[in-house]
Amino acid sequence: MNWIATVYTPANRFQRTALWTLAITFFLIFVGGLVRAAGAGLGCPDWPRCFGLWIPPIRAESLPPPYDPAEFNVIKTWLEYVNRLVGVAVGLFIIATFIGACRFGRSDRSVFGGATAALVLVLYQGWLGGQVVQSGLEGWMISLHMVIALLILNVLLFTVYRSQRDRLRAAVPGAIRRKALYIISGLLLISFIQIVLGSQIREALAHISDTYPHLARGEWLGEVGALDMIHRSYSWLVLAGAIWFYRAVGPLDHAHAVRDLARLNNSVIIVQILLGAGLAYLGLPPVLQIFHLLLAALMISVQFLALLLLAHAKAVS
């Protein structure tokens, strides 16, 4: 079963819409990472407008009163503005997905429920984004913003999967299925904790940057303290869990979807560890921060899809 080819050949308009919604949500996480790496979270100091305008200017002298031109940075402003535009696009796509899911209301309540949950979450996310700006980028609120983004991503993944469940059904021996389900559930939990720890480190770095403006970027991580060491050490636990999962599904056919996902998961985690080492020893390059965040979202999604396939797999002897 080649799950990649199956997923990317949707059978109807709803599945195409849901897949596009999933893709643009990934893109939003990428843009959000770019905003955080560039320190552009307050590129627009107000919400929902930007410097009191629906379309921000490109020159400081074009700012309306009472905004101070000294606070204007055209790159940061437009990064944050594009981030908001992509967020609006995600909201519109989720609305379209919800409308398309209405026809599943009776035939498959889980598809309708997933689309409804995604709509509720994205509305909350939009409100939370405004609160983040008004709070002046309060650390715990940014972390919550990231967690909600991951929830939206995986609720959409669940909706896409359920809408194509008959075409994505896998067969797994019962003993392998039971063991693998336990492992992937635990791995998903510890991976999520690792992402939250990483988010806390990002907020600590932002605080250090603001508190010690003359401190070189490469020295920020040294000021984080024990949290950084916990995050680094915890990554080996995530890798060990991933290897354990791969060994558990190892007896499956080489082309089996679950085995493919386990292999992809291992690759993503290894790259994540290498990116983390690059961040630690190369002075926190912003480009590595962006891809570190994006791969974290991919890791969670791969694990969740493996969980879905195993949970709905046909048990065979």
Domain boundary assignment for the chain: 1-168, 170-317
Please, are residues 91 and 52 in contact by the beta-carbon 8 Å criterion? no
> Any idea which residue has 């983040």 for tokens?
132
29, 269, 310 from 77: Cα distances, Å: 18, 33, 44
Q: Which of 83-97, 164-178, 225-239, 269-283 has the lowest mean pLDDT?
A: 164-178
Q: What is the pLDDT of residue 128?
A: 84
In which band, very low, low, confident or very high, does the pLDDT at 3 lie, cut at 50, 70 and 90? very low
Which pLDDT belongs to residue 245? 96
Contact status, residue 199 vs residue 54, Cβ threshold 8 Å: no
Residue 27 CB partners (closer than 8 Å, separation 6+): 86
d(CA 295, CA 269): 8
- CA atoms within 13 Å, Cβ hemisphere of 128: 19
What predicted TM-score, i.e. pTM, was given to this entire model? 0.85
Percent of the chain beyond pLDDT 90?
33
Q: Average pLDDT of 24-49?
A: 84
Q: What is the pLDDT of residue 187?
A: 96
Report the length, in residues, of the chain: 317
What residue type is assigned to position 247 of the chain?
R
Mean pLDDT taken over the chain: 85
* Cα–Cα distance, 306 to 297 (Å, whole number): 14
pLDDT at 11: 58
Mean pLDDT of 22-38: 86
Query: Given this model, what pLDDT does residue 9 score?
Result: 47
pLDDT tens by residue, 131-144: 877 766 666 777 78
Question: Over the chain, what HEC string results?
Answer: CCHHHHHCCCCCHHHHHHHHHHHHHHHHHHHHHHHHHHCCCCCCCCCCCECCECCCCCCHHHCCCCCCHHHCCHHHHHHHHHHHHHHHHHHHHHHHHHHHHHHHCCCCHHHHHHHHHHHHHHHHHHHHHHHHHHCCCCHHHHHHHHHHHHHHHHHHHHHHHHHCCCCCCCEEEHHHHHHHHHHHHHHHHHHHHHHHHHHHHHHHHHHHHHHCCCCCHHHCHHHCCHHHHHHHHHHHHHHHHHHHHHHHCCCCCCCCHHHHHHHHHHHHHHHHHHHHHHHHHCCCCHHHHHHHHHHHHHHHHHHHHHHHHHHCCEEEC
More confident residue, 57 or 39: 57
Q: How confident is the model at residue 295 (pLDDT cuts 50, 70, 90)?
A: very high
The residues, ordered by sequence, that sit 6+ positions from 68 with a Cβ below 8 Å of its Cβ are none
pLDDT on residue 136: 64
Q: What mean pLDDT comes out for the span 175-179?
A: 89
pLDDT at residue 109 is higher than 60: yes
Over the stretch 185-218, which tens digit does the pLDDT of each residue have? Answer: 999 999 999 998 888 888 788 778 777 778 887 7
> Which distant-in-sequence residues (6+ apart) come within 8 Å of 101 by Cβ?
14, 111, 112, 114, 115, 116, 159, 163
Contact of 67 with 52, CB cutoff 8 Å:
yes
pLDDT of residue 107: 67
User: What pLDDT is attached to residue 188?
Assistant: 95
Neighbours of 267 (CB within 10 A): 14
pLDDT value for 60: 86
Residue 266 is predicted with a pLDDT of 96
Hey, CA dihedral for 70, 74, 76, 78, is it positive or negative?
positive
- Mind listing the pLDDT tens digit for each residue in 226-271? 888 888 889 999 999 999 999 999 888 776 888 999 999 999 999 9
